[in-house]
A and B are shown apart, each in its own frame.
Chain A
Amino acid sequence: MDKEKIILIVDDIEINRVILSEIFKKDYHIIEACNGIQALEAVNKNPDISAMLLDLVMPEMNGLEVLRKMNKSGKLKSIPVFLITAESSEEMLLEGYHLGAVDVITKPFMQHFLKHRINNIIELYSHRNELEYVVAKQVKRLNQVSRSMVETLATLIEFRDCESGEHVKRICGLTDILMTKVSEMYPEYRLPQSEIDKIVTSSVLHDVGKISIPDGILNKPGRLTKEEFEVMKQHTVKGCEILQEIPNVMGKGLYDYSYDICRHHHERWDGRGYPDGLVGDEISIWAQVVSIADVYDALTAERVYKKAFDHDTAVKMIYHGECGSFNPKILKAFEASLDTIQKKNWALVE
């Protein structure tokens, strides 16, 4: 048995604590508490407690209250709690079980049974905690792999589209700033951080379809003809076709965001964008955010067909609708983020 494992014994009667301690001290490190408040303090100080033996009837704070608080704070998921009782009403014990106690120990203690029951549960919990840790580690690793696959794809496009350069990295940064701001400012667009992170990763792939556009059009130094522009517009749809071929590379969440951003980052609020001519909030908020990030970045970067505009000019052009119309709420979030965006000085990167 591993003596580094801790058992917390909570009982207001010293005799009971000493007897329990005597039973387990050979195999475990023992911590004692004589009321509920001390018990919770001990749990907070020692998050690695392997098991808690908790008396029900105690002064200050009784056992059920301790259980209730541990249940609320999520501590019961990792610490098995055994209720100790000399007998208590059936309702009390049932409530204890409902609140998450794993078992009931009756006084007088029967040493050998007690040892087996508690050792078994501790072993089970420690096995479960270990498994959860391994699974969490593997999920993290899988996410990292997905992300690097996405980044690899994006890098491929950068090589192909010689003008893009650091474009995708800046899009990521801009998407992060804008998406966070929109989520803060508008409850209807609020998203948890984990989703914002996925959107940011997915934004990298917004132009993946450009890989299918002929060089003569993609890297043409002058203005595109109407026909050429029609081909160029296909990069949104082509991008989705590419993603459809590799749905398992990135997992469901990233795939859905990437697909949507890829297809709709050229849609416009008034319905005059492409490829589907979606109007207003028919366009997902993440696609709308990547649209404005893409436009700002295209304006402030030098391209084969144009010089770079400075930050102020680019912002004015966006507000004057020279790059199509945007959701007024996003424009407000954009305005509120201008300082942060300018501080990043992306416009001067290239």
Chain B
Amino acid sequence: MALLEELKDLGVDVDGGLNRLNGNEALFVKLLGTFVRTMESYSVSLDFDGSDSEEVASVTEKAHAIKGAAGNLSITPIYEAYTQIVDLLRAGDIEPAKEEIEKILPVQKNIIDCIKANM
């Protein structure tokens, strides 16, 4: 399937994700669609106020949710980046966290665009 091959090229561990779903390719593809929607509702942007603890907590929660979902679908680049982002946010390292967000945003856009183009 073209989508899965393209995702492999983007660093997604397609085999690991499929394995978690007992090799059910159709379900994997369906969940990739769900992932796109999840990313829209849990989107993390750079313009949050690092001095507002409530706002930081809310961003951390979203990053945490993305990390869990990406991990379960083996979307490795996103999973790894958000693992680091969550750790930094929890440690109060706001600026390094923002740098990581800035780095992952174009990568995640590529992955999401690739999924959308194949839906």
Contacts and interface: CB of A to CB of B under 8 A. Distances in A.
A87 B86 contact: yes
B69 A13 contact: yes
Given A13-B68, A18-B27, A108 B79 contact: yes
A18 B72 CA distance: 10
Interface string A87-127: 10100000000000000000111010000000000000000
Contacts of A87: 64, 67, 83, 86
A336 to B, nearest CB: 60
B72 A109 contact: yes
B111 interface: no
A73 B65 CA distance: 29
Interface string A48-71: 000000000100000000000000
Nearest to A110: B20
Nearest to B63: A86
B110 interface: no
A86 B64 contact: yes
Interface footprint category on A: 10 to 19
B53 interface: no
A16 B68 contact: yes
Interface string A153-173: 000000000000000000000
A107 B38 contact: no
Given A15-B35, A18-B31, A108 B20 contact: yes
A14 interface: yes
Contacts of A12: 65
A27 interface: no
A107 B22 contact: no
A340 to B, nearest CB: 61
B29 to A, nearest CB: 12
Nearest to B82: A86
A336 B86 CA distance: 69
Interface string B66-84: 0111011110000100010
Contact of A14 (B20, B38, B61, B90): B38
10 contacts: A13-B65, A13-B68, A14-B34, A18-B31, A22-B22, A107-B68, A107-B72, A108-B20, A111-B19, A111-B20
Interface of B: 16, 19-22, 24, 27, 31, 34-35, 38, 61, 64-65, 67-69, 71-74, 79, 83, 86, 90
Given A18-B27, A109-B72, 4 more contacts: A19-B72, A57-B65, A108-B20, A111-B22
